[in-house]
Structure 1
Amino acid sequence: MNGFTLFDSTHIIWLASIIIILIFLIYLYKFSNIVNQPLYLKSVFWLLLLLECAKQLFLLVKGQYSYWSPPLHLCGLGIFITGWHAYFGSRTTSTILYALTLPGAAIALLFPGWTADPVGSFLHVHSFLFHSLLLAFIFPLLITKQLDLRWQDLWRAVVFLVFIVPPIYFYNSHFQTNFMFLNRPVSGTPLQWLFDAFGASGYLTSLVLALLIYWCIAYAPLLIRKEL
């Protein structure tokens, strides 16, 4: 069976289903008691971890394991951020989830990089479920205002990037991979638009600018609310 294309019927059905399920989960979380809410967060984290372990095992069994296989994308690292937050929630994890994991997962679902995987295959289903679970972790917290968000904490996200981006960039360069899409864009996505506009030499700078713009938009309501 063939893959799919951006915003074709397969993609739209997935997105519509994800939205419906997210609404249900937000409602479920919002009206759960203080005992069940932490259980929900821990359950989503363990589901993410089990999904990733299943993917690693699948690749090993199929003989497809490669330098591309470790969970080094921003969303893959999100597994550990959700676990950290589920058990030891803090301003740091709140900031990283909102400033990095949320946009990463949302963009991945809107412009998936797994369109070549056959529809209905393990990797196809895994990719949609995995990124959906990241949103299923973050949105209930966001809607119920349980993320401790302050624009002054954005430095925490910057420090996180300072620590992870250089080693992943060099890993990409050494093994010819493209984790976090640092070395080249994915065709047909907004990253390709940035590459086309700024060229190879300005690509990383354009990623930084795009992230800064997102942060301005995402944190503007917090500043407005504080002023009111």
Structure 2
Amino acid sequence: MIGFTLFDSTHIIWLVSISSALIFSIYFYKFSNIVNQRIYLKCIFWLLLVLECAKQLFLLVQGQYSYWSPPLHLCGLGIFITGWHAYFGSRTTATILYALTLPGAAIALIFPGWTADPVGSFLHVHSFLFHALLLAFIIPLLVTKQLDLRWQDLWRAVVFLALTVPSIYLYNSHFQTNFMFLNRPVSGTPLQWLFDGFGASGYLMSLALVLLLLWILMYLPFSKSNKG
């Protein structure tokens, strides 16, 4: 079996299927009572956790476990943010989910970094399902306006990055990994454009500026309603 390429038939089928499933999840969540909504969120979290545990076990059994295996990508950390929100939802988890996990999962599906995995393999299916579940957790909350989002809370996402990025960057440098794509871009993605345009020395700074611009666009709808 071979992998796939960006926006080939395999990729498009996955994107269309995920989009259809997300529409269904939105309607299911929107028209469920509060008890079932909470059950839905907890189920998504546990599905994410089980999927990740299954991946870790698969890699161990296959003898493929390496320094690349821990869930240290932004979406991997999203497992713990969804669990935190499902059981102890707060403005902090709402901010991190919206400002970091949502764009991270969406971009990962549009520009997947697992194109080399054989189509239909465990890792291929896992990667699509995992990122789709992150969106299935966040988007229904967003559509039903159950995420308490205020641009004044963006500092919470900044603190989260300040606590995680330095240690992951050092981990990458020591073990030659590339979690959060901090040390180098993924070929053929917008990250590669940034690297080509600003060079290795300006890559992280350009990444931070793009994230800032993205946040401005994402929080514009909330800027007027949350004044004061």
- TM class by shorter chain equals over 0.9
What is the aligned partner in structure 2 of residue 213 from structure 1? 213
Letter matched to residue 130 of structure 1 = F
What is the aligned partner in structure 2 of residue 122 from structure 1? 122
CA contact (8 A) 2:114 2:127 kept: yes
What is the aligned partner in structure 2 of residue 32 from structure 1? 32
Letter matched to residue 224 of structure 1 = K
In 2, Cα distance between equivalents of 1:149 and 1:178: 30
Offset of 1:224 from its aligned partner? 3.5
In 2, Cα distance between equivalents of 1:105 and 1:178: 17
In 1, Cα distance between equivalents of 2:47 and 2:194: 34
Unaligned runs of 5+ in 2: none
Matched, 1:22 2:33: no
What is the aligned partner in structure 2 of residue 79 from structure 1? 79
In 2, Cα distance between equivalents of 1:22 and 1:224: 28
Spell out the pairing of 1:1-228 with structure 2 (5 A cutoff).
1-226=1-226
| TM-score, normalised via structure 2 length | 0.99
- Number of aligned residues: 227
In 2, Cα distance between equivalents of 1:95 and 1:35: 23
| TM-score, normalised via structure 1 length | 0.99
Structure 2 residue matching 1:64: 3-state secondary structure? coil
Q: Which runs of 4+ in 1 moved over 4 A?
A: none
In 2, Cα distance between equivalents of 1:180 and 1:23: 28
Identity among equivalent positions (%) equals: 83
Structure 1 residue matching 2:34: 3-state secondary structure? coil
Q: Describe the superposition over 1:73-115 as per-residue Cα deviations: whole angstroms up to 9, x where unpaired.
A: 0000000000000000000000000000000000000000000
Offset of 1:223 from its aligned partner? 1.1
Offset of 1:159 from its aligned partner? 0.3
Letter matched to residue 209 of structure 1 = L
CA contact (8 A) 2:150 2:226 kept: no
State the Cα RMSD in Å.
Answer: 0.7
Offset of 1:51 from its aligned partner? 0.1
Offset of 1:226 from its aligned partner? 4.4
In 2, Cα distance between equivalents of 1:196 and 1:60: 36
